[in-house]
Amino acid sequence: MDDVLFRVIVSVVGTLVTTVLTLLGLYLQQKMGGEKLGKAYSIAATAVECVEQFVVDAHGEAKMQAAIRYMKNLATRYGPKLTDDQWRILGEQAVFAMNQAVEYVLPSAPVADNPPA
């Protein structure tokens, strides 16, 4: 019974997070325009992936702050000027998309019986 309740709660929370992020994305798209949003999201996704791979001594909010700093740095050269809150929204969407991809890929990935030492 507890397992069923847990699965229902996880499913509902996942749906709510997806809905909220989608609505925030639509709000930003309306406010910024499609092309500008596409470039900004590309910058956010790149920054999130870089921070995830290379910033190993930070977690949670510290990683998000590092990603936002990197997004703003990239945007000064390649992209639109956004507020910290707008970069945070795009960063959260990029983190969510990355986590969804990991959940999708990892269960089907082959697992080595004897991993290299």
**Is the predicted pLDDT of residue 112 greater than 70, yes or no?**
no
Provide the pLDDT confidence category of residue 1 given band limits of 50, 70 and 90.
Answer: low
Provide the pLDDT confidence category of residue 109 given band limits of 50, 70 and 90.
Answer: low
CA–CA distance, 15 with 52 (Å, rounded to integer): 24
pLDDT at 33: 67
Give percent of the chain with pLDDT exceeding 90: 3
Q: What is the pLDDT of residues 37-68, one digit of tens each?
A: 788 888 899 998 888 888 878 788 888 898 99
* Gyration radius of the chain's alpha carbons: 17
Structure tokens at 19: 């809905």
Q: Where are the domains of the chain?
A: 2-106
pTM for the predicted model, two decimal places: 0.60
- Sign of the Cα torsion 53, 55, 56, 58 reads negative
Q: Quick check: 102 and 95 in contact, CB under 8 A? A: no
